[in-house]
Amino acid sequence: MQRSTRKKAVQGVAFSFLWIGAIITIVVLLVIVGYILYQGVPGLSWEFLTQSPKAGGKEGGILPMLVNTIFLVIASLAIAIPVGVLSAVFLAEYAKQGRIVRLIRSAAENLAGIPSIIFGLFGFIFFGKILGLGWSLLNGALTAAIVVLPTIMRTSEEALLAVPQSYREGSLSLGATRWQTVTRVVLPAASPGILAGLMLSMGRIVGETAALIFTLGSADRIAQSLMDSARPLSVHLYILAHEGISTPKAFSTATVLIILVLILNLTAAFLVSRANKNRKTKG
């Protein structure tokens, strides 16, 4: 009898620690997001979103940085999506499982673990100085593309592998080539999962700073061409924060950043759950 009450007591204590841990997690989130939103939302306004910064960022808005971020995302994904999705297609649909496939997969995993500052160094030297791109949108896009390549490869491959084999068999038996099967049957079926990976990558690009500081440059105007330097939102926040130019503007910029990333990640989660639902019903 005593043993079981002691067991229950220990369990009670242990479980309260678990509850505490979970509560701490939620509290941390609320504090961080709450504090930033609390300080930053008052500064949000239509003007803030549509004007250029004045006086180095002390006044005005963040329009150029927003636009540059959008340009950056589009340019990076324009590079990373074809390479990443097609690589995943190769690994999932065409390749023979063997040493080469393992090599490619481990290369992608290694790439995933490299700290962003090393990507920044690489972009600065290789794209910037050796290839002569200097501080430019193209340099930043290439660097950011390498950063998100592993994510796109991994999520696309998982999405492709999750497509039931019966789809492929059905298509092939109807006389389609492997390529036709992939593009017209498998890829569409895998698209929610692939799109989710894209959304996650977008979030990553939007939040990336260390890799972009030495590659994208800090010109605070809308980039006029791929070779223009183009300060994105994340670098703008860094500059505002550590130059102490304007704390309120920094908070508002951080708020916009958080909201942007939130939207992207929530869309990704939504797409993933829809993909899972589809799979269950089609089953």
Partner 1 sequence: MKPGRTFAAIISIALVAGLMAGCGGTTPNGSQSETGKITVVGSTSVGPYMDELSKLFMGKNPGISINVEQVGSGQGIAATKDGSADIGMSSRELKDEEKPLNEYKLCLDGIAIVVHPDNPVSNLTKEQVKKIYLGEITNWKDVGGNDAPINLYTREASSGTRGAFEELVLGKDAAGKQITIDETICAAVLNSTGNLGASVGNDKNAIGYMSLGIVPEYIVKAIKFNGVDATPENVKNKTYALQRPFLLLTKNEPTGIVKDFLDFCLSSDEAKAYLESQKLIIE
Partner 2 sequence: MKQGTARWRMNDKVIRSLLFVCAAISVVAVLLITVMIFVEAFPALKETGVWDFIAGTKWKPTDTPPQFGILPMIVGSVYVTGLALLFGLPIGMATSIFMAEIAPPKVAVVLRRAIEILAGIPSVVYGFFGLMMVVPIVQTLGGTGMSVLTASIILAVMILPTIVSVSEAALRAVPAEYKEGSLALGASHWQTIVRVQVPAAKSGILAATVLGIGRAVGETMAVILVAGNIPVIPESILKAVRTMTVNIVLEMGYVQPGSLHYSALFATGAVLFVFIMLLNFSIRALTKTRGEKQKNAKKH
Residues 128 to 147 in contact with partner 1, rule: CB under 8 A: 128-129, 134-135, 137
24-53 residues near partner 2, rule: CB under 8 A: 24-26, 28-29, 31-33, 35-36, 39
Q: How many residues of this chain interact with partner 2, rule: CB under 8 A? A: 84
DSSP string, 14-58: HHHHHHHHHHHHHHHHHHHHHHHHHHHGGG--HHHHHS-EEGGGT
CB 261, CB 268: distance < 8 Å? no
Check residue 113 for interaction with partner 1 (CB under 8 A): no
Structure tokens at 38: 């609390």
Check residue 61 for interaction with partner 1 (CB under 8 A): no
Site track 187-226 with partner 2 (rule: CB under 8 A), x = hit: ----------------x--xxxxx--xx------------
Query: CA geometry: angle at 76 spanning 89 and 113, to 5°?
Result: 70
CB 229, CB 216: distance < 8 Å? yes
Check residue 225 for interaction with partner 1 (CB under 8 A): yes
Helices (H), the chain: 2-40, 46-50, 63-89, 99-113, 116-122, 137-162, 165-173, 178-181, 187-207, 210-213, 233-243, 247-282
Complex with partner 1: residue 112 or 219, whichever CB lies closer: 219
77 CA to centre of own chain: 10
CB 128, CB 134: distance < 8 Å? yes
Eight-class DSSP state of 244: T
Check residue 89 for interaction with partner 1 (CB under 8 A): no
CB 149, CB 197: distance < 8 Å? no
Check residue 18 for interaction with partner 2 (CB under 8 A): yes
Check residue 228 for interaction with partner 1 (CB under 8 A): yes
What is the smallest separation between the CB atom of 198 and partner 1, expressed in angstroms? 9
Complex with partner 1: residue 198 or 257, whichever CB lies closer: 198
228-257 residues near partner 2, rule: CB under 8 A: 234, 237-238, 241-242, 247, 250-251, 254, 257
Check residue 83 for interaction with partner 2 (CB under 8 A): yes
CB 102, CB 195: distance < 8 Å? no
177-196 residues near partner 1, rule: CB under 8 A: 183-184, 187-188, 191
Eight-class DSSP state of 137: H
Q: Using the rule CB under 8 A, which residue among 38, 45, 132, 179 binds partner 2?
A: 179
Check residue 244 for interaction with partner 1 (CB under 8 A): yes
What is the smallest separation between the CB atom of 28 and partner 1, expressed in angstroms? 24
CB 195, CB 209: distance < 8 Å? no
Check residue 218 for interaction with partner 1 (CB under 8 A): yes
**Residues interacting with partner 1, by CB under 8 A?**
55-56, 71, 74-75, 77-78, 128-129, 134-135, 137, 183-184, 187-188, 191, 214, 217-220, 223-229, 239, 242-245
